[in-house]
Structure 1
Amino acid sequence: MQLLAIVLYHADGRTRRLDFEPGALNIVTGESQTGKSALLTIVEYCLGRSTMLVPVGPIADTVVWYAALWQLDDGRAFVARPAPAAGRASTSVAMLEFGTNLDAPPLEALNANIESRALREQLGRRIGIEENVTEPEAGSLRQPLEANIGHAALLCLQSQNEVASANSLFHRQGEPGIDQALRDTIPYFLGAVARDEALKRAQLRDAMRTVTRLTAELARAETTAATIDVELNALLTEARAVGLVGEVEFSGRTELVRVLQGARVAQPQVPPLADTEAQDRRLALQAERDRLRGELRGVLAERGLLLHETQAETGAERALRQQRDRLAVLARLPGPASATEPDGEAPLDADTCPACGHELDDPDPTAAALQASLTELRTQVGALTGARPAHRQALADLDTRAEGLRAELRVAEDALADLERANRVGDQTNSDARDFTRGRIDATLARANLADDTQLAVLREQLARAQAAVAALKEELDEDNDREQLTSRLVAVGRDMSRFAERLNLEHSGDSVRLDLARLTVVTDTPTGPAPLFRIGSAANWIGYHLATHLALHRFLTLQGRPVPRFLMLDQPTQAHYPAEADNASGLPDDDADRVAVRAMFELMRDVVAELAPAFQVIVCDHADLPEAWFQAAVRHRWRGGVKLIPADWLYEH
C-alpha cells in the first residue's frame, strides 16, 4: 500500500492534487509555512483517524473534503473524508472505493459510505492484516487488542516534533494508551506471532474452560458415587413420610431409582390421621351451628309476635282513654243539692238542660247512663294498664335468650373457622412437603446418573482428551518460543540499524544498536553499558537514529512481506541542520558539515528505496533542496516563491 495522490476539494468543486510516485523517494521541498507539515496530518486522517489536526487557517478554512488515492497490490483504493463540522475537530464518516484503474472523482460524486472503524478494518484486510488478538498478561485490566491499519500507520509516520525527539521513537507514542498498543502490535507486524496464533489462543481458552468444567463434573460425580446409595434410601424414607411411596420392596440401586422416579408423579396414598379427626370435629361444629341458628330464629319470631300484640293493645287503650276523657266533664255539671251520687258527684236531671235549667222537649241520655259508661271505660283502661308489666317482662326474657343464643353461635362459628383455617394450612404444608420431596428426588436422580460407572468412565476420557488438547496448544504457543521469535527479528532489525547509523556517522554507531521494545526506544550497547536514546546528545543524533530505526524496520517488514503500508512519511528530518531562516528559504545549509549530514540522510533514504523498489516508498517534507541530480529527480513538489499547498486564488476568494 503506497500513496499515489493527495487531493483537496474546495467547496466550489475545484481540487488541489499532489501526485507521488510509488516505489521511489518523493520529496516535497519548500519554505516554512507553506503547508508541508499538514500533508502528514491529511494522510493519517485518510487512514481512518477520527480527529483532524490540520492547523487553523487557510487549509481548514477552504478545504471541505480531504482525500488520498492508494496503490494496492491488486488495484487501488480511494479514501475521502469530509472536513469536521464547524466547531468540531473530529468525524467518523468516510468514503471508500476500490477499483483497478480508480481515480479521484469530482466533488459532487463524493458521498460518505462507511464509518472510520470499518474503513480501517477493510483497508487492513486489503493489505493482509488478518484476524489477530493480543492477550494481556494474566491479572491485567487491559482488554484484548486486535491490530489494525491504524496501529500499522504508527510505524509509517514521523511528524516534525517526533523525528527529533529524544523520548518518543514512534508516532503518537506519548499519547495515553498508544505506547502499550505499540508494544502489543509490533510483535504481530514483525511476524513473531503466528498468523493463526489468535485462533489457537482462542482454542486454548476454550480447552482450558473445558478442562475446568470436566474436572469439576468428575469430582462431583465421584463424590456422588460414594454417597448416592445413602441419599437414595433417605429419599425413600422421606417420600414414604409424605405419602408419595407406600410400603414397597426393592433390590439394588436400579429398582430403588425406578421407585423414586414413580414417586415424582405419584399422588398421596394415605391421608394423615389428623385429617379424619378434623373432619369429625368440623361436622359436629356445623351441627351445633345449625341448631343454634334454629333456636335463635324461634326466639326472634316469638319476640316479634309479642311486640305486635303490645302495639295492638296500645291502640285500644288510646281509644278508651279518649272516650273516658270526653265523659269525664260530666263530673263538673251541677245537680240537685239534696242528692249525691256514690262517688260524691251531684246527680243530673234528664228532663232539664244542665246548662240553663229549662225543661227539654227531647231529653238527652241521663247523666246516670253517661256516668255508667264512664265507669265502664275507666275499668277497661285500668285492665289494659295492668297488663303492661307482664308484656315488658316477656320481651326482656326473649331478648336475654336471643343474646345468649347469639353468643353461643359466635363461639361455634369461630371454632369452625379456626378449624377450616388450620386444615387449609395443614393441607398446604403437606403439599409443600411433597413438592419439596419431589424436587429433591429430581436433583438426586440427576446426580445419580452421573454416579454410574459408565458415566464416570466417559467423564474421565473426556477430561483426558481436553487436557491433552491444552498441553498441545500450550506447546505450540510456547511463550519462550514467542520471545525467541521476537528477539530474532529485533536482532535482524538491529543489524540494519547499526549499519545505517554508521553511514550517518552517529555517536556510538560503532557499538551495537538495537530496538528496545519494552521501553520503545533505541539503545546502543556501549563498553560502559547500555545507552538509551535520551542519553545520547544532540538533535542531529536523535534524528539520525529515528531515521536509521524506521528505515531498518521497514526494510525488514518489506522483505518479510508483513502487512504494513509500504511507505514512510517524514516531516522535516533535516531540521537540525537548517538553523537560519536564509537556509530554510534556499534549501541549502551554509555549513559544509550540515551539507554533508543532509546529503547523507537523503542518500541513505535513496539507497534503501532503490534496494526495495518498487515495494517501498519514502515521502519527505523538508526545507532541503540539494542541487544533486538524483535529489532534484526525487522532488515532486517545490513550494517556493509564493507557491503553497493551498492555491492563492482559494485564499483571495475566501
Structure 2
Amino acid sequence: MQLQILEVILWPKAAGLPPRRVPFEPGKVNVISGASKRGKSSVIPIVDYCLGSRLCAIPAGTIREACAWFGIRVQTSEGEKIFARREPGKQQSTDEMMLLEDSVLDVPTDTPKKNTTRQAVKHLLDRLAGLSNLGFDPEEPRSGFQGRPSFRDTLAFCFQPQNIVANPDVLYFRADTNEHREKVRTIFPYVLGATTAERLAKKWELENLLRELRRKERERAAHDTVSATWLANLQVWVTEARELGLLRGDALEATEETLIVALEKVLAAGEEGNGFSAQGTGASADEYAALQTEESKIVLDLSVARHRLNQITAVRGTVGYYKGALDSQAARLGVSRWLRTLSNDGARCPICDSAMTSSSGELEQLCDALATIENETHTVSMAPPVLDRDLVDVKSKLSLLEDQLKAVRIRKRAIESRSKAIREGEQTSARVARFLGRVEQALELFSARSAPGGLNEELEKLNDSIEDLRKSLSEQQYALKLDAATARVSKDITRIAAKLDVERKDAPARLDIKELTVGVRDDAGREDFLWHLGSGANWLSYHVAAILALHVFFLRQLHSPVPALIIFDQPSQVYFPQRLTRPTAQSEEDDIGDEDVASIRRFFEAMGKLAAHFKGKLQIIVLDHAGPDVWDQLEAVSLAEEWRGNDYLVPKDWLDILE
C-alpha cells in the first residue's frame, strides 16, 4: 500500500501562531535527531492518532496542553491527503477529524474544522489498502480476533516505539496486549498472501452452503423419524378407510407398496363429487389469490437478484480479463527496465552489440508506459475484494428467495390438489374429508423426497457444491503457500541480521507467526526465541531485521495491504545514548567513533540500502539521539530535523505562552 508521510503538523491552541510543520522525504530514511525530552517519542503516537487509533496515546503534558489539533500530510495512490484530529482534552480520545484530499495540498494555517469522523477515515484507509470486507471466520463474523482485516491491524508491522524496538518479549506494535496479539496472529497469513480475498469469499460461501445442508438434513431426519412408523400408519389408514366404506374387498398384503396403492385408489374414488361447497370454494379462492400475489412478488425479487448476480459476475470477469491484459502488457514491457539498466551502466546492446546511448529516450518512454500499466493494474486489482461481500449477500438472498418460492408453490399445489379432491368427490361426512386430507398430505410428504427436484436431489447438489469448494480451499496448498512465505521472510531476516550486531552472524533465523517472534538456531540445532537470547544488541538487531525483511516481502507482492512505512523510535538506546547526545568530542576518550557507534551506523546503513533499493517505494523514519556524525554520508539517509538546545517538537514560543 502506498502511504508515506510528507509532514507531521501541529496546530496551536494559542491564537495568531502558525502551525508547526515537520517535513519528511518520501522514499528515504528520514532521521529526527535530538536530545531527550524534545518530543521524539511523541511522533509515533501522533501519526497513530491521526490514522484512526481508538485511544489517544500522545503523552499528556506540554504537547497536549499546547496543541489544539494534530495532523499528518501523506502521499497515497490517490494523491495527497491531510488527516487531522482534535486534541481530546479531558477525554481519552475524540472522533472529530478533518480530511482534505487533492493531488497536491497546502497545509491550512487556520485551526482545522471537523468535516469527518474517525470511522469514515478508517473506512477510507481500508479501501486504500484494498482489504477484503469479509471476516476470517464465517461462523463467528463479529469476533474481534476473527473479524474482517482492517488498516489498523497492518500498523503492527510499521511502528517500533521505544518500548518495543529492543523488547525481547514483544516484536510487533501493540502486540503486548492479548487482544492485539491475537489479531496479529490472525492477520499474518493475510499479509503474507496465503489467505486472499478470494479464499475468504469461498470460505463464506462454504459456510452458507453448510448451514443450508444442516437445515435440509434436519428435514430429512424428521422424515426418517416418521418413516419408522410409516408402515403402521398405512395399516391404520387402510383399516379406517374400510370403516368409512371407502375401501372394499379382501384383506390386503401388509406391504408398503400394496397399502399405498390401495390408499391412492381411495383418494381417487373419493374425488368423484359434485363440486365445492360455497364456504370451501371462497376460502380456497382467497388463499389461492393471496399465494399468487406472493408468488409474483418473489419471482420479481428473484429476477432482480439474478440480474444483480449477473452484473457482479460480469464486472469481476471484466476486471479479471482487463487485469490479465495489463499483466501481459507489463510482462512485454518488463525488459525495458533491464535494458535501461544496461544503458545506464554503459553496456552495449545484447542483441546487436551497438551503443545504447542513442536509444535512452525510447527506453524511458517504455519504462514510463510500464509504470502507468502497473499503476492501472493496482487500481483494477482493488475492485474484486470490494465486490466479495455483495456477491456473498446476493447468493444468500437468491437461496432464501428460491426457498420462499418453493414453499409458496407447494402450498398452491396443495390447494389445487385439495380443491380437485373436494370438487370431484365431495364427501358428506366431515370425518371422511379430514381422513382423505390427512392421507393425501402424508403420501405427498413421503414421496417428495425421491421426486425430481425433491429433498434427496437438493441434498445431493448441496454436497457436490460443498465438495467442490473444499477442494478449492485445499488446506494442504494453503499450508504450503504460508510455509513458503515465512521461509522467504526468514531467509531475509537471517541475511539482514548478519549485517547488524547479532552475536552469531551465521545462525539461521526463523519468523514464527504463532509465537509472534523470531527463532534462532544454534550449532546444535536448538532453536531459541528472542526472550532466550541475551544482549540488547541481539534484540534490537532481530527487531530491525524482522521488520525490514517483512517489508521486503510486502514490497515484492503485487498489492500488499501493509503501508510501505516504518518508524523506529530510539534504536540506539542499547548503545549508551548519553554519549551520542554530546555535541562535540572533548578528548579521545570521549570520541564517539567507537565500536558501539560503528554498530549503530550499520543499522542506518541497512535501512538506507533497503530504501534505495526500492527506489522511492519505502519510507523509513528514525527518531534517535544519534546525530549526523554517526550516520552521515550514508545512501538514502538524510536529516529531517535536529532537536537540541532550544529546538523542540513544540516551538519554544508556544511553551512561553503556556507559562
Q: Report the TM-score, using the length of structure 1 for normalisation.
A: 0.67
Q: Does 1:51 align with 2:51?
A: no
Give the length in aligned residue pairs: 480
Distance between the aligned counterparts of 2:439 and 2:180, measured in 1?
53
TM-superposed CA distance for 1:143, in Å, is 5.8
Distance 1:7 1:457, change over 3 A: closer
> Structure 2 matches for 1:99-138, cutoff 5 A?
99-114=102-117, 116-135=118-137
Matched, 1:163 2:165: yes
The CA distance in 2 between the partners of 1:469 and 1:517, in whole Å, is: 33
Aligned 8 A contact 1:145 1:184 in 2: no
Q: 1:443 to 1:165 in 2, by over 3 A?
A: farther
Q: 2:478 aligns with which of 482, 487, 510?
A: 482
The residue type paired with residue 502 of structure 1 is: A
Where structure 1 has 5 or more consecutive residues not aligned to the other structure, the ranges are 269-433
Structure 1 residue 79 corresponds to structure 2 residue 77 = no
Work out which of the two has the higher radius of gyration on C-alpha atoms and give 1 or 2. Answer: 1
- Secondary structure of the 1:543 match is helix
**What amino acid is aligned across from residue 571 of structure 1 in structure 2?**
D
* Cα shift at 1:2: 1.0
Aligned partner (choices 209, 212, 215) of residue 211 of structure 2: 209
Write the mapping of 1:324-339 to structure 2, written as runs, cut at 5 A.
Answer: none
SS class of match (2:108):
coil
Matching residue within 560, 563, 575 for 1:562: 560
Tell me the distance in 2 between the aligned counterparts of 1:635 and 1:83.
Answer: 28
1:535 aligns with 2:532: yes
C-alpha deviations, 1:397-456, integer Å up to 9, x for none?
xxxxxxxxxxxxxxxxxxxxxxxxxxxxxxxxxxxxx89x96996698167334247527
Please report how far the alpha carbon of residue 225 of structure 1 lies from its aligned counterpart in structure 2 after TM superposition: 6.0
Paired residue for 2:549, among 538, 552, 562? 552
Match of 2:441 among 417, 441, 445: 445
Structure 1 residues 637 and 516, CA gap change in structure 2 (3 angstroms): same
- Cα deviations by residue, 1:281-306 (Å, 9 ceiling, x for unpaired): xxxxxxxxxxxxxxxxxxxxxxxxxx
* Matches of 1:166 and 1:464, distance apart in 2: 54
C-alpha distance after superposition, 1:316-350 (max 9, x if no partner): xxxxxxxxxxxxxxxxxxxxxxxxxxxxxxxxxxx
**Which residue of the partner structure matches residue 68 of structure 2?**
64
State yes or no: 1:472 paired with 2:468: yes
| CA distance in 1 between partners of 2:271 and 2:103 (Å) | 72
Question: Partner letter of residue 73 of structure 2?
Answer: L
Identify if the C-alpha distance between structure 1 residues 25 and 48 changes in structure 2 by more than 3 Å, giving closer, same or farther.
same
1:641 to partner: Cα distance: 1.8
CA–CA distance in structure 1, aligned partners of residues 5 and 214 of structure 2: 51
Asked if 2 retains the 8 angstrom alpha-carbon contact of 1:257 and 1:445, the reply is no
**Bigger Cα displacement from structure 2, 169-178 vs 442-451:** 442-451
Q: Please state how far the C-alpha of 1:266 moved relative to its aligned partner.
A: 8.7
Q: Does the aligned pair in 2 maintain the 1:190–1:489 contact within 8 Å?
A: yes
Q: Displacement of 1:258 after TM fit?
A: 6.8
Secondary structure at the counterpart of residue 107 of structure 1:
coil
Q: Deviations over 1:596-648 (max 9, x none)?
A: 10110100000011111211100001011133234796001111121001011
SS of corresponding position for 1:198 = helix
- Inter-partner Cα distance in structure 2 for 1:650 and 1:194: 49
Letter in 2 for 1:497: I
Deviation sequence 1:64-110 (CA, Å, 0-9, x none)? 111111111121222111111x3222223323333222343343552
Is the contact between residue 78 and residue 103 of structure 1 (CA under 8 Å) also seen in structure 2?
Answer: no
Deviations for 1:576-596, whole angstroms, at most 9, x for unmatched residues? 11343x532439873611111
Q: Is the 8 A contact 1:450 1:456 kept in 2?
A: no
Report the CA distance between 1:117 and its aligned residue. 3.1
Deviations 1:107-129 (A, max 9, x none): 35521412x23322221211222
Cα distance in 2 for partners of 1:218, 1:261 equals: 30
- Aligned equivalent of 2:98, options 95, 98, 103: 95
For 1:599, give the aligned amino acid: R
Counterpart secondary structure, 1:78: strand
What fraction of aligned residue pairs are identical, expressed as a percent?
A: 29
Q: Secondary structure at the match of 1:196?
A: helix
> For 2:50 and 2:272, how far apart are their aligned partners in 1?
72
Distance 1:591 1:235 in 2: 104
Task: Report the TM-score when normalising by structure 2.
Answer: 0.67
**Structure 1, 161-170 or 445-454: larger mean CA deviation:** 445-454
Contact 2:41 2:162 in 1 (8 A): yes
Distance in 2 of aligned mates of 1:92 and 1:253: 72
Deviation at 1:262, TM superposition (A): 12
Counterpart CA distance in 2 for 1:73 and 1:266 is 75
> In structure 1, what is the equivalent of residue 522 of structure 2?
526
State the alpha-carbon separation in 2 of the partners of residues 261 and 219 from structure 1. Answer: 32
Task: Provide the residue aligned with 1:642 in structure 2.
Answer: 646
Q: Which one is further off, 52-61 or 472-481?
A: 472-481
Decide whether aligned partners of structure 1 residues 640 and 632 sit closer, same or farther in structure 2, where only a CA change above 3 A counts.
Answer: farther
Q: Which runs of 5+ in 2 are unaligned?
A: 249-260, 280-429, 586-590
**RMSD between superposed Cα atoms in Å:** 3.4
How many angstroms apart in 1 are the aligned matches of 2:435 and 2:191?
58
The alignment partner of 1:27 has SS state of strand
Identify if the C-alpha distance between structure 1 residues 161 and 255 changes in structure 2 by more than 3 Å, giving closer, same or farther: same
Q: Give me the whole-angstrom Cα distance separating, in 2, the residues matched to 1:474 and 1:110.
A: 51
Q: Distance in 2 between matches of 1:144 and 1:587?
A: 53
Aligned partners of 2:189 and 2:195 also within 8 Å: yes
1:216 is displaced (CA, Å) by: 3.2
Question: 2:300 maps to which residue?
Answer: none
- Shift in Å, 1:141: 8.1
